[in-house]
Structure 1
């Protein structure tokens, strides 16, 4: 049931006494962890907290990179997906589009592109890893294109380094077949 479809309900909610409204609001917020974290961020944190969040994510990623190099491609794919979902959570909480793109470029630039071969499934998981990686780069580039041109400029060097890394790796064929640009 959407609130917009029930104008009577919307009016009844706005007509509630403040104390009752507050009680209902707090009960609703408690049911959604992301909403609770978003409200905490919006109401109780400031710009320095945003930078702290980004630095924590970066330091967590940097700590995981040496471990990634020792994993099979299947295990690495799972870890990289988890890293990217952490950035997606960061965006849901902060609504910081620039920070989301900055962090994704950081992750994509930091992770190694060569992994140990396992006896079973290397080809399948190698393909899945390459597909996931290139698709994530494409989505990130699309989001980058939607930012203000000054913000795009701020990320252009890091983005071009990422693209250069891709085109000088084993993923070059996949990137080319996916029409990934060689630079922005």
Structure 2
């Protein structure tokens, strides 16, 4: 049931006394953790808090990648798991802050530092993880590219070198075929 489809319900909610509306609103907000965190950020935090969240997430990404690199038998499977986890953290950051610039910078950082080159295995189960990692990586870069195109041209210019470095990483790891299929350019 969507509120826009029920004009009479919308009118009845608007007609509620202020105290009742506040109580209902607080009950609804309490049921959604992301919404609660978003409202906290929007109403009680400022630009310095955004910077703090950004730096904390950069540190978390770097710590996870360092831990991944220290694993003796790290492979495509472990890299894929870490990448998905960190992508989820960046998604959460965006849902809370609604700041496209820091989301793009965080994702650029993640995609730049995540290892994606592992030796090809003859075992079918290991090879499928390398294929999954490659596909997930390129599709994530493509999603980032679409968001990059929506940025103001000055911001695009500032991030161009980092993005080209990411596109070079795709070429360096022989992922151009997947990149062409999804529509990524070779260079910006």
Instruction: Tell me which residue corresponds to 1:20.
Output: 20
Instruction: Tell me which residue corresponds to 2:132.
Output: 128
Give the Å deviation of 1:57. 0.7
Q: Distance in 1 between matches of 2:35 and 2:27?
A: 12
Give the Å deviation of 1:117. 6.3
**8 Å contact from structure 1 (residues 29, 35) kept in 2:** yes
Matches for 1:153-172 after TM superposition, within 5 Å:
153-172=157-176
What is the TM-score of this pair, normalised by structure 2? 0.91
Listed as ranges, the gaps of 5+ residues in structure 2 are none
Give the Å deviation of 1:50. 0.7
Matches for 1:24-173 after TM superposition, within 5 Å:
24-69=24-69, 70=71, 71-115=74-118, 119=123, 121-173=125-177
For the aligned residues, what is the CA RMSD?
A: 1.6
Query: After TM superposition, what 4+ stretches of structure 1 lie above 4 angstroms from structure 2?
Result: 116-120
What is the TM-score of this pair, normalised by structure 1? 0.93
Q: Distance in 2 between matches of 1:44 and 1:163?
A: 38
Give the Å deviation of 1:183. 1.3
Give the Å deviation of 1:129. 0.4
Listed as ranges, the gaps of 5+ residues in structure 1 are none
Q: Distance in 1 between matches of 2:141 and 2:11?
A: 45
